[in-house]
Amino acid sequence: VEYFTPKTIEEACQLLLRYKGEAKIIAGGTDLVVHMKRKKVLTKHIINIKDAVQNYVIYSEIEGLRIGARATIHSIESTPVIKEKFTLLYDAAAQLGSAQIRNRGTIAGNLCNASPSAEIAPPLIALGAMIRIIGADGERTIPIEDFFTGPGQTILKADEILAEIKVPNLPARSGGAYIKHSVRKAMDLAIVGVAAVITLDRDIIKDVKVVLGAVAPTPIRVKRAEEVLKGRRISDELLQRTGQTASQCCLPISDVRGSADYRRKMVKILVVRAIQQAIEQINMG
Ligand SMILES: Cc1cc2nc3c(=O)[nH]c(=O)nc-3n(C[C@H](O)[C@H](O)[C@H](O)COP(=O)(O)OP(=O)(O)OC[C@H]3O[C@@H](n4cnc5c(N)ncnc54)[C@H](O)[C@@H]3O)c2cc1C
C-alpha cells in the first residue's frame, strides 16, 4: 500500500483526483482499518489527512459552532459549550464506542463512513448543520441532511474531502435530545437512534425536527411525523400519533441487533421520549 501524508487539503484533493476513486482517506482509522482487515475495502493508496485537515471546535454567539473535520469524538464530548448548548450532539458523542475509539475516531470519519447507525448524523441533521466540502475544483457548502445517499454512500465526489461542519445556534426556547438504544451501554452500535429538536412559542410547537438512525439505509428525517406536531399544543394523544407516524415512515431491516418489527416498535416509543426530553430541556432552561 502506498501511503501519503499531504501537507494541505488541496494537495490531498489532487492525490484523490490522481487515483480516481482508488485512493482512500484515513483520519482516525477506526472504521477504515476494520474494513480493510475484513477486505470490505481494498485500496492501494492511503492518504492520511492529519496535516491537511484541521482539528478545532470554535463557538461564537453569532455563527454558532464550527468543527474542523478532523476533530475527534472526544473533543466533541469534552467541549463545555457543546454540552451546554448542543446537548444532543454531546449525548451522541459521549455514547459512541469506547474511550479509545472516541480518542481516535473523528467527526468526519463517522459521517463519511456513512453507516446507517452512525451516531453523529441524527443530531447534526436535527440541528440543521451545514457541511463544507473541498474538492480539486473548488468548494461547496450543503445541508448535512443531503449528504447521505445509501449505506456507505455519500454525495462526496472521488476528489472531495469533508473539511468543516457548521452548526447554527438554536432559536430561543429550543431544546433537543438524542436517544441511543443498544443492547449494551458501551461499545455497541445503535439498534435505533432518535434525535429531536423542538422550538416552542409559548406552549405551541413552532418548529420541530425528528431524525432517526439505524432504521433505514441512511439517517432519515421523518417530516410526516414533524407535521403532526407543528403548530399544535403538546398533548399525550399528539405525542402518541407522532411516534406512530414515525414508526410508519422508517424502513428498518432485521439483523443481529434486532428485527425490523422490534425496531419499528422502539421508534414509536423513543420518538415520544426524545420529544418529551427536548421539551423538558426548554422548560428547565
Ligand atoms: C470497537 C468500535 C466501536 C465503535 N462504536 C461506534 C458507535 O458506537 N457508534 C458509531 O457511530 N460508530 C462506532 N464505531 C465506528 C467509528 O469509530 C466511528 O465511525 C468514527 O467516528 C470513525 O472516524 P475515523 O476518524 O476513525 O474514520 P476513518 O476510519 O479514518 O474513516 C472512515 C471513512 O471516512 C472517510 N473519511 C474520513 N475522514 C474524511 C474526510 N475528512 N473527508 C472525506 N472522507 C473521509 C475514510 O476514507 C473512510 O472511508 C466504532 C468502531 C469500532 C472499531
Q: What is the pLDDT of residues 36-53, one digit of tens each?
A: 999 998 899 999 999 999
Q: Atom 46 of ligand 1 has which residue's CA nearest to it? A: 25
For residues 162 and 25, give the distance between their C-alpha atoms in angstroms, rounded to a whole number. Answer: 10
Q: Atom 38 of ligand 1 has which residue's CA nearest to it? A: 109
- pTM comes to 0.97
Are the C-beta atoms of residues 196 and 128 closer than 8 Å to each other? no
Helix (H, G, I), strand (E, B) or coil at 28: coil
In Å, what is the CA distance from 200 to each residue of 80, 91, 240? Answer: 25, 22, 19
Reference 182, options 92, 82, 74; nearest CA is: 92
Amino acid at 243: G
Are the C-beta atoms of residues 193 and 214 closer than 8 Å to each other? yes
CB-count exposure of residue 108 (10 Å: 0-12, 13-18, 19+): buried
What's the CA-to-centroid distance between 194 and ligand 1, angstroms?
Answer: 20
Confidence of residue 21 (pLDDT cuts 50, 70, 90): confident
What's the CA-to-centroid distance between 113 and ligand 1, angstroms?
Answer: 6
What's the CA-to-centroid distance between 29 and ligand 1, angstroms?
Answer: 7
Are the C-beta atoms of residues 16 and 23 closer than 8 Å to each other? yes
For residues 102 and 170, give the distance between their C-alpha atoms in angstroms, rounded to a whole number. Answer: 26
Which mutation among 22, 110, 142 tests ligand 1's pocket best, with the greatest number of atoms within 8 A of CB? 110
Q: Atom 43 of ligand 1 has which residue's CA nearest to it? A: 161
Residues 127-136, mean pLDDT to the nearest whole number: 98
Those residues whose C-beta lies under 8 Å from the C-beta of residue 179, and which sit 6 or more positions away, are 193, 194, 270, 273, 274, 277
Q: Atom 4 of ligand 1 has which residue's CA nearest to it? A: 97
Q: Which long-range contacts (CB under 8 A, 24 or more apart) does 51-54 make?
A: 51/5, 51/6, 51/7, 51/8, 52/6, 52/7, 52/8, 52/9, 52/11, 52/12, 52/161, 53/9, 53/12, 53/27, 53/108, 53/161, 53/163, 54/163, 54/164
What's the CA-to-centroid distance between 70 and ligand 1, angstroms?
Answer: 11
What's the CA-to-centroid distance between 205 and ligand 1, angstroms?
Answer: 35
Q: Which three cell numbers stand for residue 158?
A: 472521488
Mean pLDDT of the chain: 96
Q: Which three cell numbers stand for residue 277?
A: 426530553
What's the CA-to-centroid distance between 236 and ligand 1, angstroms?
Answer: 38
pLDDT at 284: 86
Q: Ligand 1 pocket: which residues have CB below 6 Å?
A: 24-32, 34, 49, 53, 69, 73, 96-97, 101, 104-106, 108-110, 112-113, 118-119, 156, 161-162, 187, 189
Q: What is the pLDDT of residues 246-272, one digit of tens each?
A: 999 999 999 988 999 999 999 999 999
